[in-house]
Structure 1
Amino acid sequence: MRPVEAVAAVVLAVIVVAAVAPGLLAPGDPLAVSPADAFGAPSLAHPLGTDESGRGIWTRIVHGAGASLTIGAVATLIGTGLGVLLGVAAGFGDGRWPGRAADAGVSRLLEVLFALPGLLLALVVIAFTGPGAVPATLAVGLATAPGYARIVRTQVRRVRRSAMVEAAVVLGRRPSTVLLRHVLPNALAPVVVLATLGLGQAVVWASSLSYLGLGSPPPAPEWGAMLSAGRTYVQVAWWMTVFPGLAVVVTAAASTIVGRGLARRGGTS
């Protein structure tokens, strides 16, 4: 493991600990207000300063890791799950009806979805579902699904044409058996690695939706919501914006570096 990958793995592990057991790193209450401490600059008592209500930024960032990572992880699961379904439907056919029709239909659908930028597609979904943490999670998941579907389709078609699968078909194996025993185990391994890369992207998109007021509502300690609240006071309390933004950047960078390391060792491009 390269040094940068080891550092990224440690950082990601700390973020996971913050998400699972935030009290270990910040035992305070992220919602407790203290007007006397409002807009406090970084100090020994509050290493990252305080916000307009006197709440510690460090405490809120640590406790917000759970919300941000949960949204990112669930959105990634939704995206990969839907991507696998679409990719298998498009790629498992043998070129005859109805496989050819399924491939053509899914391919046209993916082309339409790829015509929209991912975040814009998420905004379209929220326009129908309404704002909130759950709709934001669903929106990000649906927005990332086309990318996974295209990768799964390519992998399934590659494995489907392999000698191993052709031999199973000649031996009279049922299509469901061929799919579950031979195709999926070999086609989905790169997708699992790429999902690690997608986690960082999902966290950034979820934070972006919260920043726009379409995700977790205030005063929830969620990184995007904290960024949105801090932009009003950026000239007098820069720490309210800088540190939540760094949390998003560091999480995305760490997951991307770890994912690329896994892809490199697994031979995924």
Structure 2
Amino acid sequence: MISVRKGGLLDGGYLWYQVRRSPLMAVGTLLILTVLICTAFAPWIAPHDPNAINLVNRLAPPSFEHPFGTDEVGRDLFSRVIYGSRASVGIGLAIVAISMTIGSAIGAFSGLAGGRTDTVIMRVMDVLLSFPPLVMAMALAAALGPSLFNAMLAIAVVRIPFYVRLARGQALGLRERPYVRAAVTFGARPLGIVQRHILPNALAPIIVQSTLDIGLAILTASALSFIGLGAQQPTAEWGAMVSTGRQFLLDQWWYPTFPGLAILLTAGGFNLLGDGLRDLLDPKTRAR
């Protein structure tokens, strides 16, 4: 168990020590905070309406009025990138929340139940894992129809088996603990054991994995939007913006470059934060 008292995980001195020890974690945290601020305060940060068309000013280069330039119909790219954080980051958080919640619950129950129940659940997960994740997400998104919501559901379904296997592995170790065996002996329901004993003690690796998965979910959602299976016009979404902007890359480099940088920095920020959390929550690292 990780202590939350002085000298434990929530001790300010220890947190500051970890930040100084891992400056990349600080960089990742700063990037994520910046993106979240843009997401929350987009109407106040964006200087223009992201969907306002101005054909007279189409494909204008970066300037003081339009820091990121304009697109093929004169919309301000800086405003669209700011508003695009709501779609891209929002879908990433939603994907991880859905897949983590469902996958962790199924995996913990499977590991605790064992026997045929565990075998059936894991064979189904093995079938899902046998397909390349991106290909399966594309197939599901195409079957459901091109939209941002359907892309979110498709990616969430693809990510569920990873959390099932992670939570099951934790449950297999925790079910032999005395407090779990005692709960089983006294007739506690499996659902109650999972909720009170398994999941709370398996949260550390699940949280780390979910943080790393947010960046991957954003990249996958952007890829689906890039090929037309995600966000549709006129929705401001980074992957869709890169898809349209690639046609103008040679002459209007700013069009695909700035949305692409937003994807890169956001995904990288979540990966750096996840790596830092893994070191923070790893007992072996904490003991050094």
Q: TM-score, normalised on structure 1?
A: 0.93
Pairwise CA RMSD: 1.7
**1:36-51 to 2 correspondences below 5 Å:** 36-51=56-71
**1:2-21 to 2 correspondences below 5 Å:** 2-21=22-41
**Kindly tell me: are residues 22 and 268 of structure 1, through their superposed partners in 2, closer, same or farther at Cα, counting changes over 3 Å?**
farther
State whether residues 109 and 191 of structure 2, in contact with CA within 8 Å, keep that contact through their aligned partners in structure 1.
Answer: no
State whether residues 190 and 268 of structure 1, in contact with CA within 8 Å, keep that contact through their aligned partners in structure 2.
Answer: no
State whether residues 125 and 161 of structure 2, in contact with CA within 8 Å, keep that contact through their aligned partners in structure 1.
Answer: yes
Q: Which amino acid aligns with 2:246?
A: R
Moved more, 233-242 or 185-194: 185-194
* Partner residue in 2 for 1:187: 202
Deviations 1:11-64 (A, max 9, x none): 111111111110232131000111121111122221111111111211110011
SS of residue in 2 equivalent to 1:104:
helix
Identity over the aligned pairs, expressed in percent? 37
Aligned mate of 1:200, from 215, 223, 236:
215
Match status 1:129 vs 2:130: no
State whether residues 168 and 178 of structure 1, in contact with CA within 8 Å, keep that contact through their aligned partners in structure 2.
Answer: yes
Deviations 1:189-234 (A, max 9, x none): 3212211111111011011111111111012111011011101111
- Runs of at least 4 residues off by over 6 Å: none
Aligned mate of 1:91, from 74, 92, 111:
111
**1:20-169 to 2 correspondences below 5 Å:** 20-93=40-113, 99-169=114-184
Provide structure 2 residue ranges, at least 5 long, that are not aligned to the other structure: 1-18
- How many residues align structurally? 264
Distance 2:161 2:63 in 1: 46
Aligned-residue offset at 1:146:
1.1
* Partner residue in 2 for 1:96: none
Aligned-residue offset at 1:268:
8.0
Aligned-residue offset at 1:171:
4.5
* Partner residue in 1 for 2:245: 230
State whether residues 5 and 257 of structure 1, in contact with CA within 8 Å, keep that contact through their aligned partners in structure 2.
Answer: yes
Q: TM-score, normalised on structure 2?
A: 0.87
State whether residues 109 and 194 of structure 2, in contact with CA within 8 Å, keep that contact through their aligned partners in structure 1.
Answer: no
